[in-house]
C-alpha cells in the first residue's frame, strides 16, 4: 500500500512540475511516507526526520504522510516544530496546497472518506506491476493491530472506479495487477441500484482485459475467503497460484486473545478448498511471535502449523505493543529476549519450507515477470508466479520480453536461477 501511495504522490507532484531527486541536499520538498504497524518503524521515522532536518536546504519543506502522521497528529509538530506537514493516509492529496502556500503548516489526519482517489491525477504511465486499492481500512480489530486506528474503518471503492483504474493501468504499461486492501477480500460495494460487487467480481472483470496477464491480491483475512473467491482460482487462469492468507499464530488460545479466527479446522478447510480449486497453489502467511501470554507450548503450535501448511514466502515478526490497541495493555507481556529466540526458531522452519519449495522448482518452466537489473548490472531479475526471485544472465537480454518463460536450473533458499526459453 505504501509503494502505491508513493507512486501516486510522485505522479501528483510531477503534475505540479516537480521532479524526483535522490539527492536530499538538492530537494525542495521531502516527504516521508510512513508505516506505524510496529514500533520500530515509527522510531525510524523520527530519527530520519532528525537527519533530514540537518541535511536539507534551509528553504526545503519537509514532513510526514501515512500512518505515523495519523498516529502522531499534532504531536509531530511538538516533537519537530520545523515540520511543514503532517498528512494521514487519506489526506496526502492535499500536499499541493503547501506548494501554493509554502508558509502554511498542513495538518490533516481525517479518515472519513476516500476522496483522495477522485482528487489524484490519473497515472499516465504505469509500471509492469500496477497496485490498485479496492478498499482501505479494516473492521476486524485484531487486538495487536494499529491499522483500524491509522487507516480507519473499511471503505470499499466503487466497482466502476476500480475497473476504470485497472483498464488505465493496462493501457499504460501494466501486465500484472495487484489489488490492495488492508482487508482486501472483505471488499464489498453496493451500487446505487443495490447491486453488490465483491472481490471475485473485480477479478472476473479484470481477467477480460487482454493486456493483463497476471492478477493477485493482498492482504486477505482467512474467513473472508468465501467460495465465490476460492472459485476464481479454478476458473481464472490469470489469477496467480499464490495467496497470502495470514494465520499469525498456530495456537487457538492465542488466536482468541488476538481476536482472530480461532477455529483452526475452519482454516484448514479453506486451505483444502483452495488446493482443490488450484492444485498448484502455494500459501504464505504473516506470523507474530511473543504475543502477550504466549507459552512455549503455544509457540510450538505456530512452528507446527508452519510445517503442516508448508507456507512459503512468509513474514514473521516479534510482537510489538502499539498505542490504541487492546493487546498493549494485556498482562503477561513477553520479554524481548524470549521473542528473539522464538523468532529465530520460527524463521528456521520458514527457511526450510522456502528452500524445499525453491528446490522443487528446478527443472520446471515458469512464466516470469521482469522486475529490473540486479545490483551488479550483469543479471536480470524476474518474479515467478509464486513471487520468488528468479535471476537470468544479462547476455540474453536482446531477445527476451517482460513476461518470459524461464526454465529453472538452480535454486537456494532465497532465489532461483534460470535460462530463458525462446
Contact positions vs ligand SAH (CB under 6 A)? 37-38, 144-145, 147, 182, 219, 246, 248, 286, 288, 317, 319-320, 322
Query: Which helix or strand (DSSP H or E) is residue 132 part of?
Result: strand 129-133
State which residue, 135 or 384, has the beta carbon closest to ligand SAH: 135
What minimum distance in Å lies between the beta carbon of 321 and ligand SAH? 7
Of the two residues 245 and 406, which places its CB atom closer to ligand SAH in the complex?
A: 245
Q: Measured between alpha carbons, how far apart are the two ends of the chain, in Å?
A: 35
Count Cα atoms within 13 angstroms, Cβ side, for 181. 29
Shortest distance in whole angstroms from residue 401 CB to ligand SAH: 32
Q: Shortest Cβ distance from residue 92 to ligand SAH (Å)?
A: 17
Smallest distance from ligand SAH to CB 137, Å: 9
Q: Which is nearer to ligand SAH, 152 or 246 (CB)?
A: 246
Residue closer to ligand SAH by CB (options 49, 258) is: 258
Minimum Å gap between C-beta 111 and ligand SAH is: 14
Q: Smallest distance from the beta carbon of 319 to ligand SAH, in angstroms?
A: 5
What secondary structure, in 3-state letters, does 134-148 show? CEECCCCCCCCCCHH
146 vs 203, beta carbon nearer ligand SAH:
146
Contacts of range 381-389, beta carbons closer than 8 Å, 24 or more positions apart: 382/406, 382/418, 384/416, 385/214, 385/240, 385/241, 385/242, 386/240, 386/241, 386/242, 386/282, 386/312, 386/313, 386/357, 387/242, 387/313, 388/313, 388/358, 388/361, 388/415, 388/416, 389/414, 389/415, 389/416
Minimal distance in Å, beta carbon 413 to ligand SAH?
21
By beta-carbon proximity to ligand SAH, the closer residue of 143 and 172 is 143
DSSP H or E run through 119: helix 116-119
Phi-psi label, residue 351: left if phi above 0, alpha if psi -120 to 50, beta otherwise: alpha
Cβ-based neighbour number of residue 249 at 10 Å: 27
If you count DSSP H runs as helices and E runs as strands, how many of each does the chain have, helices first?
14, 20
Nearer to ligand SAH, 156 or 182 (CB): 182
Question: Distance (Å, rounded) from C-alpha 178 to C-alpha 169?
Answer: 11
Amino acid at each position: 500500500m505504501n509503494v502505491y501511495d508513493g507512486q501516486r504522490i510522485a505522479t501528483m507532484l510531477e503534475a505540479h512540475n516537480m521532479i524526483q531527486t535522490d539527492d536530499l541536499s538538492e530537494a525542495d520538498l521531502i516527504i516521508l511516507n510512513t508505516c506505524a504497524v510496529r514500533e520500530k518503524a515509527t522510531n525510524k521515522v523520527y530519527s530520519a526526520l532528525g537527519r533530514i532536518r540537518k541535511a536539507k536546504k534551509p528553504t526545503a519543506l519537509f514532513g510526514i504522510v501515512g500512518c505515523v502522521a495519523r498516529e502522531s497528529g499534532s504531536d509531530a509538530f511538538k516533537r519537530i516544530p520545523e515540520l511543514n506537514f503532517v498528512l494521514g493516509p487519506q489526506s496526502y492529496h492535499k500536499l499541493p496546497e503547501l506548494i501554493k502556500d509554502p508558509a502554511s503548516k498542513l495538518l490533516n489526519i481525517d479518515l472519513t472518506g476516500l476522496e483522495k482517489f477522485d482528487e489524484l491525477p490519473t497515472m499516465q504511465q504505469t509500471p509492469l506491476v500496477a497496485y490498485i486499492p479496492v478498499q482501505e481500512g479494516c473492521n476486524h480489530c485484531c487486538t495487536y493491530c494499529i491499522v483500524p486506528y491509522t487507516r480507519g474503518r473499511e471503505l470499499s471503492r466503487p466497482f466502476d472506479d476500480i475497473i476504470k483504474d485497472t483498464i488505465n493501468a493496462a493501457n499504460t504499461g501494466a501486465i500484472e495487477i495487484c489489488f490492495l486492501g488492508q482487508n482486501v477480500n472483505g471488499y464489498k460495494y453496493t451500487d446505487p441500484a443495490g447491486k453488490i460487487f465483491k472481490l471475485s467480481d473485480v477479478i472476473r472483470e479484470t481477467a477480460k482485459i487482454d493486456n493483463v496477464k497476471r492478477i493477485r491480491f493482498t492482504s486477505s483475512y482467512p474467513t473472508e475467503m468465501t467460495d465465490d473467491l476460492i472459485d476464481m482460482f479454478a476458473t481464472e487462469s490469470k489469477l496467480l497460484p499464490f495467496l497470502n492468507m495470514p494465520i499469525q499464530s498456530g495456537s487457538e488460545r492465542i488466536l482468541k486473545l488476538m481476536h482472530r479466527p480461532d477455529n483452526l479446522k475452519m482454516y484448514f478447510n479453506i486451505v483444502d478448498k483452495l488446493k482443490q480449486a488450484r492444485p498448484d497453489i502455494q500459501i504464505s502467511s504473516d506470523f507474530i511471535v511473543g504475543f502477550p501470554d504466549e507459552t512455549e507450548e503455544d509457540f510450538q503450535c505456530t512452528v507446527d502449523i508452519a510445517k503442516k501448511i508448508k507456507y512459503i514466502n512468509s513474514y514473521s515478526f516479534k510482537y510489538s505493543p502499539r498505542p490504541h490497541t487492546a493487546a498493549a495493555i494485556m498482562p503477561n507481556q513477553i520479554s524481548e529476549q524470549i521473542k528473539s529466540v522464538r523468532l529465530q526458531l520460527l524463521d528456521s522452519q520458514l527457511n526450510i519450507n522456502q528452500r524445499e519449495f525453491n528446490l522443487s522448482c528446478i527443472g520446471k518452466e515458469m512464466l516470469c515477470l521482469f522486475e529490473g537489473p540486479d545490483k551488479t548490472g550483469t543479471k536480470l531479475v524476474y518474479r515467478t508466479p509464486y513471487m520468488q526471485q528468479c535471476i537470468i544472465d544479462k547476455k540474453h537480454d536482446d531477445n527476451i520480453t517482460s513476461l518470459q518463460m524461464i526454465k529453472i536450473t538452480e535454486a537456494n533458499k532465497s532465489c532461483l536461477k534460470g535460462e530463458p526459453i525462446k
